[in-house]
Structure 1
């Protein structure tokens, strides 16, 4: 299983640091030439590889860490996303309910990535919190996952555990997805909730 992060802003870099902390290799890409952010990527750790968008989309698991409005541009990078897992880390804050067609933002993203298996996750915490070591006071920081594909959610849950987080599945996108989505000027009820799970 290989991984890529598309988007190298605050959240993309924070995710890259989470991979680097655990020594898990990940490619990072933007729509720009990889040379333009290579030094920032390599400064994070040896397993963080700057690459082109065309190369990054070949990964088995792609983290979508771009602005919500930019997701269609990334989706166009492949004619079909069959067999790939897309982790939607976007937030549609400022995007109207009309623009979303009354659907959860993750359903809109899922539609753009034809054939892909979408998991919404890692989006409910601000970068400054996500950037901290997920081991907290003897527990692990919680990340919420929601998907219409239970197998994909299980695989991303296993990755989240490898990264040191405590994954909690919230069910389908049309249910759990509403708890961790932003749209218009509102935030889902679980957005910004910094929770820690203690294993008994």
Structure 2
């Protein structure tokens, strides 16, 4: 399984640090050329490599860490998204809900990536929390996952565990997914809930 982080702002960098902490390979890409990102990626760790967007999108699993309004541009970069898994870390706040056709932001974003399996995850925590070691006093920091594709959640949950987090499945996007969606000017009740779980 290969991984790429698209977007190298605070969230993208925090997730890159999580990969580096576990010596897991990940490609990163942003609007900036890879040579501009290289000093930052080298500082994070040797398993984090900057590449062009086109090269990054060759990964099996793509972590979308761009501002919500940019997801459509990313979607145009591939002629087909069949077989790809997208982990959506974006929040649509403060875009008005009426611009999302009444859908959770992830369900709205998924329409731009036909053929892909989209999993909402890693979006409810601020970058500073994501960047720190998720294992504290034997407890693992919780990340919430939701998707309309039940089969897609399992490998993302496995990745979360590899990174040291405790995945908690919330079901479909229009069910538990609402709990972690920031939309309009309202926050879901689980946004910013920094919870820890003892691993079984």
The answer for unaligned runs of 5 or more in structure 1 is none
Partner of 1:128: 128
Deviation, 1:81, is 0.6
**Equivalent residue number for residue 99 of structure 1:** 99
CA shift, 1:161, in A, is 0.3
Cα distance in structure 1, aligned partners of 2:64 and 2:175: 21
Kindly report which structure 2 residues correspond to 1:1-200, keeping only aligned pairs within 5 A, or say none. 1-199=1-199
Q: Which runs of 5+ in 2 are unaligned?
A: none
Instruction: Quote the Cα distance in structure 2 between the aligned partners of 1:176 and 1:40.
Output: 36
Tell me how far 1:185 sits from its aligned partner: 1.1
C-alpha RMSD over aligned residues: 0.7
TM norm structure 2: 0.98
Displacement of 1:176: 1.5
Greater mean alpha carbon deviation, residues 162-171 or residues 130-139: 130-139
Whole-angstrom CA distance in 2 between matches of 1:23 and 1:97 = 39
d(CA) in 2 for partners of 1:199 and 1:33?
40
Report how far residue 28 of structure 1 moved: 0.1
- In 1, Cα distance between the equivalents of 2:65 and 2:38? 17
Contact map agreement 2:64 2:86 (CA 8 A) in 1: yes
In structure 2, what is the Cα distance between the partners aligned to 1:31 and 1:54? 11
Distance (Å, rounded) in 2 between the aligned partners of 1:194 and 1:82? 34
Aligned length: 200
Given that 2:146 and 2:176 are in contact with CA atoms closer than 8 Å, whether structure 1 keeps it comes out as yes
Structure 2: how far apart are the matches of 1:149 and 1:107? 11
**In structure 2, distance between residues paired with 1:154 and 1:113:** 20
Q: Is the 8 A contact 2:140 2:197 kept in 1?
A: yes
Deviation at 1:59, TM superposition (A): 0.3
Deviation at 1:37, TM superposition (A): 1.3
Runs ≥4 in structure 1, deviation > 6 angstroms?
Answer: none
